[in-house]
Amino acid sequence: ARVYGPQKGASPRQVELLEQGLANLAEVIQRDLGRQVADLPGAGAAGGLGAGLVA
């Protein structure tokens, strides 16, 4: 979100909200599925497809 958000027109506040949401999603995946996706290389590519496939 920090890289592409501003390129897509997100305000600094929107970028922060997106980052918080993504961090929360990664925590839920870790808690409920036992999969660590937050620091997984390529997890954010293609709109997060990598993280979804790993989860």
CB 30 within 8 A of CB 36: yes
Query: Residue 33 and residue 28: Cα distance in Å, rounded?
Result: 8
Domain count of the chain?
1
Examine the pLDDT at 50 and tell me if it is beyond 90: no
pLDDT digits (tens, 9 = 90+) for 35-47: 999 888 888 777 7
- Say which residue the tokens 């897509």 belong to: 8
Domain containing residue 14: 4-54
pLDDT digits (tens, 9 = 90+) for 18-30: 999 989 999 999 9
Is the alpha carbon torsion for 37, 21, 42, 39 positive or negative?
A: negative
What is the SS3 assignment for 55?
coil
Tell me the pLDDT of the chain averaged across its residues: 89
Q: Give the pTM.
A: 0.80
